[in-house]
């Protein structure tokens, strides 16, 4: 079995008396678009920063591209394309100057590929960073992350604060770049409508823990919303295996189950004679809210 591109083994991060990451185990295989979803404060950024050696690990071990996150963080980061939530760039530099500056940190930097990316993203090399829109800054950060042709692209809330059109263009650029050379893409985001379009595999992080890791299509197949409509009265008591939530109205119930199969509607009809049953596929955002609960709930 080949080494995982990213591996976390019992990773823990504490800030004083607060545990931000509580014993995370995670493997990310090569060549996938892996989405780590979770609301702000779930521990996603702390996990990423530990894996990259930007934060000390309280307990456990992390490896990225076979490099130990603690002992080999410098050569590790030279081989990863990283776009943090907050872009740290000298705002007085031009796009071309920031690219030349960044190139010194990466032995595999490709000037021709960098120039091609700038053209592809519609970036003017002569523009200063302070003159760019938020979308332009995000695309510049992505150019710097891609221009050294890394095997792994790691993005922490890369589209936060961007409008919907720019977010879509940005994510399409990432997926296109990943597909070209079989790169692995790891995206952390709470904007789940963005992940819907790009993720092959998803993990839910909540309260510093990984709740599950699953193929995106498998998750959307097994977690479904079922509408049950009653012609007459409904039963006073009702229990169903795998129920995540149940919202009752007078003649209509909305049931979310996490073990849906094609046989589920027929089984529900058998258990509730006279009721009509209709199932609906849910978005990743709807699934996240159902499984993690509403924010503040």
More confident residue, 294 or 14: 14
pLDDT in tens, 205-214: 988 999 989 9
Torsion angles phi and psi, residue 44, rounded to 5: -65, -50
CATH superfamily for 6-218 is: P-loop containing nucleotide triphosphate hydrolases (3.40.50.300)
pLDDT digits (tens, 9 = 90+) for 246-278: 888 878 899 999 999 999 999 999 988 888 999
Task: Look up the pTM and report it.
Answer: 0.84
pLDDT digits (tens, 9 = 90+) for 63-91: 999 999 999 999 999 999 998 877 888 99
* Predicted local confidence at residue 38, as pLDDT: 83
Model confidence band, residue 161 (pLDDT cutoffs 50, 70, 90): low
* Position with higher pLDDT, 37 vs 166: 37
Q: Report the share of the chain in percent with pLDDT over 90.
A: 51
Per domain, the residue ranges of the chain are 6-218, 224-281
pLDDT tens sequence across 8-25: 999 999 999 999 999 999
């Amino acid at each position: 079995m080949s080494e995982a591109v990213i591996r976390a083994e019992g990773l823990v991060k504490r800030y004083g008396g607060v545990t931000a990451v509580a014993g995370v185990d995670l493997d990310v295989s090569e060549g996938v678009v892996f989405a780590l979803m979770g609301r702000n404060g779930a521990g996603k950024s702390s996990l990423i920063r530990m894996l990259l050696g930007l934060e000390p690990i309280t307990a456990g071990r992390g490896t990225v591209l076979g490099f130990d996150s603690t002992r080999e963080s410098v050569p590790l980061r030279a081989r990863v394309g990283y776009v943090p939530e907050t872009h740290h760039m000298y705002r007085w530099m031009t796009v071309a100057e920031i690219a030349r500056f960044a190139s010194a940190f990466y032995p595999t930097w490709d000037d021709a590929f960098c120039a091609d990316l700038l053209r592809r993203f519609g970036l003017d090399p002569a523009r200063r960073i302070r003159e760019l829109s938020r979308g332009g800054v995000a695309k510049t950060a992505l150019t710097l992350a891609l221009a050294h042709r890394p095997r792994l692209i790691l993005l922490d809330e890369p589209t936060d604060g961007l409008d919907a059109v720019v977010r879509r263009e940005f994510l399409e650029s990432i997926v296109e770049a990943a597909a070209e050379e079989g790169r692995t893409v790891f995206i952390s985001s709470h904007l789940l409508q963005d992940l819907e379009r790009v993720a092959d595999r998803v993990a839910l992080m909540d309260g510093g823990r990984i709740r599950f890791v699953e193929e995106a299509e498998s998750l959307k197949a097994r977690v479904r919303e079922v509408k049950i409509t009653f012609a007459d009265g409904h039963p006073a008591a009702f229990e169903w295996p795998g129920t995540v939530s149940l919202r009752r109205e007078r003649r209509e119930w909305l049931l979310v189950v996490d073990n849906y199969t094609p046989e589920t509607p027929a089984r529900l009809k058998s258990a509730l004679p006279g009721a009509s049953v209709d199932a609906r596929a849910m978005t990743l955002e709807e699934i996240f809210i159902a499984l993690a609960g509403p924010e503040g709930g």
